[in-house]
């Protein structure tokens, strides 16, 4: 049996500039972090002439073309995987929570398929192929952040070039800064969000049409991502928290569906309890609210009073890995 483990992520700054409709015009930059919550993919031979697929449902089909799951069907077809396999996916956190689960699933699946074929794959190629499946083959209006941070792991800065090249650079923060972030960055679940593709469709369309307001918003978001990176490299986590607030204001202005009355109330409550700033992680309208809190327990009490559960986490530094290879 082959089992892969692929991290989920939190976006720290510049998110949204990784969509092709934007970066192919102006270039995109962002900083993202992998966390120790994972998607697991296992592949096992079945000695039968079909494909047994287990995720949120179960499929048993004789032909790849008959697979309902878009990513599984596309990946198995591209890799020409013969029948007689069972593929099972599990995750620490359900999909639809804004932590990049679709990208992590695709990267983890591809990592498993390469291991199944006893082939090596470079990290950059793994991320690029995952992006090709979701963006080029399936035509989803999503960006490249989730696939790249899932493949690379760590606290990583990415630059997306107009010619589709991607540069990845591990952000050289100190051990003290890393520990500060793990202690003071808090995640609270606000409820399930809509699919990222649905939330990002408006941004994708307006960017492709060169809408001036959308492009200006994303230009500012990219600049804020650079400022956030600089603050983290300098160890100035207070400035990072304050920049997160400005980043959230820019993100909220991008589209009317980014927030709602409940999320606005949760965010205001966290700020009143001392959080310097925060943002909804992912496409918006639900999922996890992330805040930077100098006094974490004050914010935890305030969020508990709102009925929100917390997801404790640390950073993952390995990216997508093969845990076992049969």
Answer yes or no: do 13 and 83 share one domain.
yes
Answer yes or no: do 48 and 161 share one domain.
yes
Question: The tokens 């009355």 sit on which residue?
Answer: 261
Answer yes or no: do 38 and 73 share one domain.
yes
Is the model's pLDDT at 179 over the cut of 70? yes
Q: Write down the pLDDT at residue 258.
A: 78
pLDDT in tens, 146-162: 999 999 999 999 999 99
Answer yes or no: do 34 and 163 share one domain.
yes
Banded model confidence at residue 129, pLDDT cuts 50, 70, 90: very high
Is 47 or 195 the better-scoring residue by pLDDT?
Answer: 47
Is the model's pLDDT at 202 over the cut of 80? no
Is 195 or 170 the better-scoring residue by pLDDT?
Answer: 170
Banded model confidence at residue 48, pLDDT cuts 50, 70, 90: very high
Answer yes or no: do 14 and 136 share one domain.
yes
Answer yes or no: do 7 and 150 share one domain.
yes
Report the chain's mean pLDDT, rounded to a whole number. Answer: 93
Answer yes or no: do 168 and 196 share one domain.
no
Answer yes or no: do 158 and 192 share one domain.
no
Q: Write down the pLDDT at residue 204.
A: 79
* 186/184 Cα distance (integer angstroms): 6
Total domain count for the chain?
Answer: 2
* 69/57 Cα distance (integer angstroms): 10
* 288/282 Cα distance (integer angstroms): 8
* 245/106 Cα distance (integer angstroms): 31
Report whether 14 contacts 23 (CB < 8 A): no
Return the ∠ at Cα 63 (arms to 58 and 64), rounded to 5°. Answer: 75
CA atoms within 13 A on the CB side of 246: 18
Mean pLDDT within 14-37: 96
Of 61, 74, 76, 73, give the one whose Cα is nearest residue 113.
Answer: 76
Banded model confidence at residue 286, pLDDT cuts 50, 70, 90: confident
* 151/162 Cα distance (integer angstroms): 21
Answer yes or no: do 197 and 229 share one domain.
yes
Mean pLDDT within 37-66: 96
Can you give the pTM of this predicted structure? 0.95
Tokens describing residue 110:
């591809």
Answer yes or no: do 200 and 157 share one domain.
no
Q: Which helix (H) or strand (E) holds 197?
A: helix 196-208
Mean pLDDT within 173-200: 86
* 206/214 Cα distance (integer angstroms): 6
* CA 88 remoteness from chain centre: 21
pLDDT in tens, 234-277: 999 999 999 999 999 998 888 777 788 899 999 999 999 999 99
Domain enclosing residue 235, as ranges: 175-311
Banded model confidence at residue 284, pLDDT cuts 50, 70, 90: low
Is the model's pLDDT at 128 over the cut of 80? yes
In the chain the beta strands, taken as DSSP E runs, fall at: 2-13, 28-45, 51-54, 58-61, 85-91, 155-160, 166-170, 185-189, 277-281, 288-292, 310-311, 321-324
* 31/137 Cα distance (integer angstroms): 26
Answer yes or no: do 186 and 270 share one domain.
yes
pLDDT in tens, 188-199: 999 876 566 666
What per-residue string of b and e applies to 243-255 under the rule 16 or more CB within 10 Å gives b?
Answer: bbbbbbebbbebb
Answer yes or no: do 298 and 277 share one domain.
yes
Of 115, 102, 61, 303, give the one whose Cα is nearest residue 193.
Answer: 102
CATH number at residue 191: 3.30.70.890
* 152/147 Cα distance (integer angstroms): 9
Q: Write down the pLDDT at residue 188.
A: 96
Q: Which of 14-18, 93-97, 304-308 is predicted with the least confidence, judged by mean pLDDT? A: 93-97
CATH number at residue 158: 3.30.230.10
């Amino acid at each position: 049996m082959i089992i892969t483990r692929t991290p989920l992520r939190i976006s720290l700054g510049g998110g949204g500039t990784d969509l092709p409709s934007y970066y192919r015009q102006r270039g995109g930059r962002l900083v993202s972090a992998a966390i120790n919550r994972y998607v697991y993919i296992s592949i096992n031979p079945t000695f039968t002439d079909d494909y047994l697929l287990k995720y949120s449902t179960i499929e048993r089909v004789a032909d790849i073309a008959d697979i309902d799951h878009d990513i599984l069907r596309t990946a198995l077809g591209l890799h020409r995987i013969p029948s007689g396999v069972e593929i099972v996916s599990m995750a620490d956190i359900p999909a639809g929570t804004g932590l990049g689960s679709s990208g992590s699933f695709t990267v983890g699946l591809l990592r498993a398929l390469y291991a199944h074929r006893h082939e090596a794959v470079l990290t950059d190629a793994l991320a690029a192929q995952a992006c090709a499946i979701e963006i080029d083959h399936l035509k989803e209006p999503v960006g490249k952040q989730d696939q790249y941070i899932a493949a690379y792991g760590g606290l990583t800065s990415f630059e997306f070039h107009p010619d589709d090249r991607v540069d990845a650079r591990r952000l050289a923060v100190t051990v003290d800064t890393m520990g500060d972030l793990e202690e003071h960055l808090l995640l609270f679940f606000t409820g399930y969000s809509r699919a990222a593709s649905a939330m990002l469709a408006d941004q994708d369309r307006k960017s492709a049409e060169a809408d001036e307001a959308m492009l200006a918003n994303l230009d500012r978001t990219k600049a804020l991502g650079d400022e956030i990176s600089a603050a983290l490299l300098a160890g100035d986590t207070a400035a990072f928290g304050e920049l997160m607030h400005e980043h959230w204001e820019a993100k909220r202005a991008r589209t009317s569906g980014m927030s709602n009355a409940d999320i606005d109330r949760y965010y205001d409550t966290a700020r009143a309890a001392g959080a310097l700033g925060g943002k909804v992680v992912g496409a918006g309208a639900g999922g996890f609210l992330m805040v930077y809190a100098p006094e974490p327990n004050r914010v935890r009490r305030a969020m508990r009073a709102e009925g929100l559960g917390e997801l404790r986490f640390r950073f993952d530094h390995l990216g997508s890995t093969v845990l076992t290879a049969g």
